[in-house]
Amino acid sequence: MSLKNWLRNGWLVEHKTSREEISDLLGIAERDLKDSRAKAISADWRLAIAYNAALQVAAAALAASGYRASREAHHFRTIQSMAFTIEADPALVGQLDAFRKKRNISDYERVGAVSDQEAEEMAALAERLRTLLKEWLRARHPNLA
């Protein structure tokens, strides 16, 4: 499977990005990483904020590759695409997808579903993915870095 196959399946659409868009997405990720460390808010929200940071990182990688996820299963596809874009280890992709599911529970089903440790783990994962993205951009898309 490849991103071109995903495009043929209708899971992605072609997208022309710019240095400004990538910078904006990274700016959102940076802001969210900082905000996710605020101890005055619940672990549920800290995880959700850190998750959004990681999602923006994944969206930036997908945009730099010439795509964006279609509306159906948008978060899932954006996350899974990191295996093809920044060549993220499948364990990292799986960990982020598990946090996606945890975030959905805390956002839509149940309060207090997230522990402080899980919120911290999500923030650490988002930081790691941001670092991988920046390295990948410098190596593969220096005009966007």
Q: Where are the domains of the chain?
A: 3-140
Q: CB-based contacts of 102: which residues, under 8 Å, 6+ apart? A: 47, 113, 114, 118
pLDDT in tens, 90-119: 999 999 999 999 999 998 889 999 999 999
Coil, helix or strand at residue 35? helix
The CA distance from 54 to 60, in Å, is: 10
Instruction: Select from 46, 128, 119 the least CA-distant residue to 86.
Output: 128
How remote is the C-alpha of 139 from its chain's centroid? 19
pLDDT band at 125 (very low <50, low <70, confident <90, very high): very high
92 to 18, 55, 124, 126, 128: CA distances (angstroms) = 27, 13, 11, 10, 9
**What are 48-85's pLDDT values in tens digits?**
999 999 999 999 999 999 999 998 999 999 999 999 99
Report the CATH number of the 3-140 domain.
Answer: 1.20.120.330
Tell me the CA distances in angstroms from 12 to 59, 79, 106, 111, 136, one per residue in order.
12, 12, 27, 33, 21
| pLDDT on residue 108 | 87
